[in-house]
Amino acid sequence: MSDSSSENLILVSREPDGIATVTINRPASLNSLSQLMITDLARAFKDLGRDGSVRVIILSGSGRAFCSGLDLTAAEQVFKGGMTDKEYDPVFQMEQCPKPIIGAINGVAVTAGFEIALACDILVAAKGTQFMDTHTRFGIVPSWGLSQKLPRIIGPNKAREVSLTAMPFTAEEAQKLGFVNYVVEGTELLKKAREIARVVAHNNHDIVVRYKSVINDGFKLDLHKGLALEKERAYKYYDKITTEQFKKMQEFVAVRSSKKSSKL
């Protein structure tokens, strides 16, 4: 099943296997974002987060780029047009989305596109992809998290270099620093993203959602508080587990053990 909006500039598809795909589809403009596209992107993640049939989401860009950032011809409209409302903030909606989001990044991810990539849970990038933070070049103050997230992921010194120089940051560099999970040939980008998505979708969805939440929420805390958060949520979960659920866990382990033994 497929849906589209903004004259097909944001595409959403849902597959029977629980994988949904969101595509930024303005290739002639390197997928630069208009105000309407920003609104529709936020709505797409909010809707998919609530859709019980969706277990994991892939985010990609069509054509030669993932997202070249904000359409600067609409900058004033975006920055002063009520975009402070979190309802229309795609990064906020991605962060609130309980489903894992896999970013399939190709070409360039510039400024707003970089921030959207940072809101993904797992990143796959095509070889030669470049990330750029051009806030300092164009006189824009970041508001979708780049100034705070990037230093926490790649370290403050490298983040200062990337942001204060506005120079490209390659996918290969990003992988070495732990920002990008996989770098693949461009022809293999969506294939690799779907491969990861299928593995995630096959796992226990309730635990996947809980695990994403505890990682992301705990990352905002110091280690002591993060460990306390993990323990608190774990015990709340265990308190609700029934005897039947424990039996199913034991049966699952028994089946796996028997399969391993048969291969020896």
Question: Which pLDDT value is given to residue 7?
Answer: 60
How are strands ordered across the β-sheet holding 108-110?
A: 108-110, 130-132, 169-170
Amino acid at 221: L
Contacts 24+ apart (CB under 8 A), 196-199: 196/102, 196/122, 196/124, 197/19, 197/56, 197/58, 197/102, 198/17, 198/19
Question: Which pLDDT value is given to residue 158?
Answer: 95
Strand bridging mode 122-126 / 108-110: unpaired
- Placement of tokens 């039996």 in the chain: 247
Q: Which two tokens stand for residue 169?
A: 């940051």
How many CB atoms sit inside 10 A of residue 114's CB?
Answer: 29
* Burial (CB count within 10 angstroms: exposed 0-12, middle 13-18, buried 19+), residue 59: buried
Helix (H, G, I), strand (E, B) or coil at 58: strand
φ, ψ (nearest 5 deg) of residue 254: -65, -40
CA distance 251 to 254: 5
Adjacent-strand bridge partners of 124: 104, 182
Q: May I ask the CATH class of domain 10-202?
A: alpha beta
Per-block mean pLDDT, blocks of 10 residues, the chain (264 long): 61 96 97 93 97 98 96 67 75 97 98 96 97 93 92 95 95 95 97 98 95 95 96 93 79 64 55
Question: Which pLDDT value is given to residue 249?
Answer: 74
Question: Which pLDDT value is given to residue 248?
Answer: 75
CA distance 121 to 212: 8
| Chain center to CA of 26 | 19
Closest CA to 60 of 100, 103, 27: 103
CA distances from 2 to 5, 196, 208 (A): 11, 21, 25
The full set of domain ranges for the chain reads 10-202, 221-262
Question: Which pLDDT value is given to residue 117?
Answer: 97
Within the chain, how many helices (H) and strands (E) appear?
Answer: 12, 10
146-154 helix and 156-165 helix, angle to the nearest 10 degrees: 130
Question: Which pLDDT value is given to residue 4?
Answer: 43
Q: What is the pLDDT of residues 66-104, one digit of tens each?
A: 999 998 776 666 665 555 678 889 999 999 999 999 999
Adjacent-strand bridge partners of 105: 125
CA distance 54 to 50: 8
pTM over 0.85: yes
Question: Which pLDDT value is given to residue 75?
Answer: 63
Q: What is the mean pLDDT of the chain?
A: 90
Q: Which two tokens stand for residue 170?
A: 């390659």
Helix (H, G, I), strand (E, B) or coil at 12: strand
